[in-house]
Amino acid sequence: MKRLLSFAALGLCLAAPAFADLALATSKNCMSCHAVDRKVLGPAFKDVAAKYKGNAGAADMLAAKIIKGGSGVWGPVPMPANTQVSEADAKKLAAWVLMTR
C-alpha cells in the first residue's frame, strides 16, 4: 500500500512539474510572502511572469534576486535575501515563476 502511494506521488510529480515547483516554493518559505494569483507582501507570481514575458535575461536576473533579495521594482517593500536557497533551486524557482499564468 505504501509502495502504491509513493508510485502515485511520483506519477503526480512527473505529470505536473508546476505542482512540484509550488512544493519547492512552499518549502523555501516563498509562499509566506507570495501567491501565484494575488499580491501578498510581494507581487503575484503571475504578475511577475507577465512583466518579464519575452525578456530572455529575466530568468537569470530573477534567480539572482531570489537569493540576494532586492527592492524598488514592485513597491516600497523590499524582498529580504533568501540565503537558504541554492543557486540551482533559485533557477528552478525563477523558471517556474515565469511560467505561472
- We find the least distance from the C-beta atom of residue 13 to ligand HEC, in angstroms, to be 19
- We find the least distance from the C-beta atom of residue 16 to ligand HEC, in angstroms, to be 18
CA 80 to chain centre: 15
Closest CB to ligand HEC among residues 36, 66: 66
Question: Beta-carbon neighbour count of residue 90 at 10 Å?
Answer: 21
Closest CB to ligand HEC among residues 12, 84: 84
| Cα 50 to Cα 46, 63, 101, distances in angstroms | 6, 17, 8
CA-to-CA distance for 33 and 18, rounded, in angstroms? 19
- We find the least distance from the C-beta atom of residue 44 to ligand HEC, in angstroms, to be 10
Contact (Cβ atoms closer than 8 angstroms) between residue 29 and residue 84:
yes
- Which residues of this protein are in contact with ligand HEC, per CB under 6 A? 25, 28-30, 32-34, 41-43, 48, 62, 65-66, 70-75, 77-80, 82, 85, 93, 97
Closest CB to ligand HEC among residues 5, 57: 57
CA-to-CA distance for 50 and 54, rounded, in angstroms? 9
Closest CB to ligand HEC among residues 36, 82: 82
